[in-house]
Amino acid sequence: MPLCRLYFREGDCFELHFLAAVDIKGMRKELNALKMTAKEIVEKLDRRLPGLLRIENDYHGLWQFFHQAVLALENITNEFFHPWKCSKSVAQRHFFVQEGGFETFLEVFKFSRQLYSIK
């Protein structure tokens, strides 16, 4: 029964048992890296791939930017969402969405689709 359907009186106590605990510190570290990537996509790159001139002038910086994004996504996938159907992964997916991770992931995903689209 969901907690919202229970009635409590003043002085009532109840005990909760969680099926799984979330690795908040680990998830937040990777989520912050992903958020920084998304922020850079929006603010610096204006949601477009960098032009040839920028690539020639800042190759190392752009390589670090893409590497950071790939690493954050790989770590989130491998450390927090695998195996997909276990209770700990479910709890971590809820935390990921609660912290804005899904919207951040979509921003990075939409940007990355430009790398492989044919125009």
Nearest to 102 by CA among 78, 76, 65, 70: 76
| Calpha distance 34→72 (Å, rounded) | 6
Percent of the chain with pLDDT over 90: 48
**Per-residue pLDDT, 110:** 93
Q: pTM score, two decimals?
A: 0.76
Position 25 scores a pLDDT of 94
User: For the chain, which ranges sit under pLDDT 70?
Assistant: 1, 118-119
How far apart (Å, rounded) are the C-alpha atoms in residues 70 and 108? 10
